[in-house]
Amino acid sequence: MSNTKPYRRFIRHVTTGFAAVLIFLALIVPDQIFRLPPGNSAFTALLRVPIEALVVGAVLLLLPVRGRLGRARQPLVAGLGVLLGLLTVVKLVDIGFFAVLARRFDPVLDWILLDDGFNFLVDSIGRPAAIASAAGAVILAVALVATMTWAVLRLTGAMTAHRAWAWRGLGAVGAAWVALAALGVQLIGGIPVASHTAAELAAHTALALPNDLRDRKRFAAEVQVDAFRDRPGDQLLTALRDKDVVISFVESYGRDALEDPQLNGAVLASLATNGDKLTEAGFAARSGYLTSSTAGGGSWLAHATFLSGLWIDNEQRYRSLVATDRLTLTRAFNNAGHRAVGVQPGITFAWPEGQFYGYDHIYDSHTLGYQGPAFSWSTMPDQYVMSAFQKLEYAKKNRERLLAEITLTSSHTPWAPVPSMVGWDEVGDGSVYGPMVTGAESPQNLWKQNDRVKQEYAKSVAYSLDSLLGYVREYADDDLVMVFLGDHQPAPVVVGQDATHDVPITIVAKDPKLFDRIASWGWTDGVKPAPDAPVWRMDSFRDRFLTAFGPDGDPH
């Protein structure tokens, strides 16, 4: 019997040490994986002192073991373990959100995005693997909470059994934390040694609901401010009364697609070639930048921001917006006498928000007549979308003037496979695209190669631009005005965590009088904005556009 005591003592020490390491990692690992430096430096960056452990450890040591408070001690410790486990789960979700959307998870508003995340996994790694990953995530979350609860109970028991040594240890580490914080000591990458990561996360999570309630009140006031709300239709967009206007969003067309030398070659080549051909055809262009309200995803937030003139950066604002009668750009054109159509190949289900935008008709993935294969998330290639728009609307004789809002999706993640351009007379019903998908590289294989992900992203954006600007050259008459822009930057895996939220925007037209109206904007000549081109918030565009092309914007 005595021979088993050293073994039991050894197991006790090992489990206590494991519990301490587990709690330590839960407290100090950042919620942004990009904050860890690469290589061996990442391990050095974990040598931090969490203030939360010192504070909670001191409180637990002060609690009596016996009496009424002593009886509450065990449930309190277990509750702390559950709390730390839940915070760890939230931190892991944050890591995913920062990697894809460059922001934290909002525990109140972002649950709806988990479905989008699952669909993204399906496109990237296949449905069976996505289901397995989702199930694994749930199991991991439950296991983390249970294991963290055990770890806190185990470590607290050890501290109580050796109270004097625990106080000495807490005192020494506490003194070190104060000294390191006062001196501002940092590790590689600017990471502070005196850590309060878990406290920040807990505060963010706890304040999510009150912050969201305050934002709801702010938004309710913002939506009431609209200089154009009561403007009669005959006083809207008077300079475009005899023009057809296309507003096109190019998925994930961000500033880095133009300025990052690791990936901009294909995009710059497309803009240069198409720009020259447009000039030969008599078109001119002006370009600038807008700062999107989202990054990495959430395209509908950017669309709503651009069209409504309000800053829509979360699901709460979006849902509140579409329940109002806010004047959107599309509805303004409709009020001014244009037939407003939405061409939305990414819509695969009922979309009641379309009524808010003021469309006369919406073409979705089921009504565009496509008979070819899907390209991962994108239901159909962009060239087909433009060809269908030509047949269904633009080529009609004796039609009304058009406002078409067209969303191009070929540059949506996961950027594999990417379609190729075909002759416009070969597009047909989309069957021509079948061989492009057969035998093409899978997203699962592509996403194992980070550098190639960047190149395929750029290739997809170039294809979208070729489809859009190729359409202008092929079909546009002298009265077409096209506005095209990116909705947001791509995911941080392509552009990094510190990329701006800027996206290019361009206006293409033949009528020089239209460009006279926006001369004061200072935009760059051509389809590529210069590095020093003006940068506006995306929500400011609606009012600038309505002013420039309304009666108040007449330069004469």
Averaged pLDDT of the chain = 85
Segment 433-480, tens digit of pLDDT: 999 999 888 888 888 888 899 999 999 999 999 999 999 999 999 999
Share above pLDDT 70 across residues of the chain, in percent, rounded to a whole number? 83
State the pTM of this model: 0.77
Q: Given this model, what pLDDT does residue 249 score?
A: 98
Q: What is the Cα–Cα distance from 470 to 355, expressed in whole angstroms?
A: 31
| Contacts within 8 Å (CB) and 24+ apart, 269-274 | 269/462, 270/461, 270/462, 270/465, 270/466, 270/469, 271/465, 271/527, 271/528, 272/528, 274/465, 274/466, 274/469, 274/470, 274/473, 274/527
Judged against a pLDDT cut of 70, whether residue 250 lies above it is answered with yes
Judged against a pLDDT cut of 70, whether residue 116 lies above it is answered with no
Q: How much is the average pLDDT of 503-516?
A: 97
**Do 469 and 274 meet the contact criterion of CB atoms below 8 Å apart?**
yes
Q: How much is the average pLDDT of 344-360?
A: 90
Judged against a pLDDT cut of 80, whether residue 504 lies above it is answered with yes
Judged against a pLDDT cut of 50, whether residue 42 lies above it is answered with no
Per the listing, tokens 């496979």 go with 417
Least confident residue range of 154-168, 416-430, 512-526: 154-168
Q: How much is the average pLDDT of 45-55?
A: 64
Q: How much is the average pLDDT of 29-39?
A: 56
Antiparallel, parallel or unpaired: β 502-509 and 284-291: antiparallel
Query: How does residue 37 score in pLDDT terms, banded at 50, 70 and 90?
Result: very low
Q: Given this model, what pLDDT does residue 163 score?
A: 78
Q: What is the Cα–Cα distance from 305 to 317, expressed in whole angstroms?
A: 10
Q: Given this model, what pLDDT does residue 182 score?
A: 65
Q: Given this model, what pLDDT does residue 406 score?
A: 98
Most confident of 37-46, 76-85, 402-411, 546-555: 402-411
Sorted by where each starts, the structural domains of the chain and their CATH numbers stand as 4-214 (no CATH), 240-553 (3.40.720.10)
**Do 10 and 33 meet the contact criterion of CB atoms below 8 Å apart?**
no
Segment 167-208, tens digit of pLDDT: 887 777 777 767 766 665 554 444 454 455 555 656 556 655
Q: Given this model, what pLDDT does residue 48 score?
A: 60
Judged against a pLDDT cut of 70, whether residue 366 lies above it is answered with yes
In angstroms, the Cα distances linking 546 to 228, 321, 334, 418 are 8, 20, 13, 36
**Do 226 and 327 meet the contact criterion of CB atoms below 8 Å apart?**
yes
Segment 268-320, tens digit of pLDDT: 999 999 999 999 999 999 999 999 999 988 899 999 999 999 999 988 899 99
Which sign, positive or negative, has the C-alpha torsion 496, 380, 273, 535? negative
Q: Which amino acid type is present at position 115?
A: D
Least confident residue range of 83-87, 222-226, 413-417, 500-504: 83-87
Q: What is the Cα–Cα distance from 38 to 41, expressed in whole angstroms?
A: 6
Q: What is the Cα–Cα distance from 258 to 263, expressed in whole angstroms?
A: 8
Q: Hey, is 395 helix, strand or coil?
A: coil
Least confident residue range of 155-164, 413-422, 478-487: 155-164
